[in-house]
Amino acid sequence: MSVKLTYLLDGGHTIAVEVPDVKACFAAVSHCQEVFSPDACGHCDAKFGTGKATVRYKHRTTKENHKFYELVCSKCGWEMGLGQKKEGGALFPRGEWKEPYHHDKFDKPPNPEPDDSDLPF
């Protein structure tokens, strides 16, 4: 026996998987809800699934091949990173919403050269 599961994401996308039985389907729905469907943004007042705001899905890979999976609030742009379990690599929500990552913030030197123009020598 196999069960076909179609899971509707906020924003209209769907995930379709085939699982061996109803228990596996239940586990898949549970995992989809946990990872893809937060109820609300942890920063602003956006409630997802209401049509007023949606959760977006962001994936990026660094030059070192580190992979990041994040949920993004369409209203305020804040992000919640998903953790990856060491065993099996399953994703899980970290629960902490953060200000969007800006690369330009880290391109500047962390400590600017000290101004020593007023030293007597």
CA–CA gap between residue 74 and residue 81 (Å, rounded)? 15
**Is residue 41 close enough to count as binding Zn ion by CB under 5 A?**
yes
Residues 86-105 close enough to bind Zn ion by CB under 5 A: none
User: Considering the rule CB under 5 A, would residue 40 count as an interface residue with Zn ion?
Assistant: no
- Determine, following the binding rule CB under 5 A, whether residue 44 of this chain makes contact with Zn ion: yes
- Nearer of residues 31 and 43 to Zn ion, judged by Cβ: 43
CA distance 59 to 12: 18
Query: Quick check: 80 binds Zn ion (CB under 5 A)?
Result: no
Using CA atoms in the order 104, 107, 109, 110, what is the torsion angle rounded to 10 degrees?
60
One of 24, 28, 29, 43 touching Zn ion (CB under 5 A):
43
> How would you class 38 by CB atoms within 10 Å of its CB: exposed for 0-12, middle for 13-18, buried for 19 or more?
buried
Binding to Zn ion in span 59-78, by CB under 5 A: 73, 75-76
Which residues of this protein are in contact with Zn ion, per CB under 5 A?
A: 41, 43-44, 46, 73, 75-76
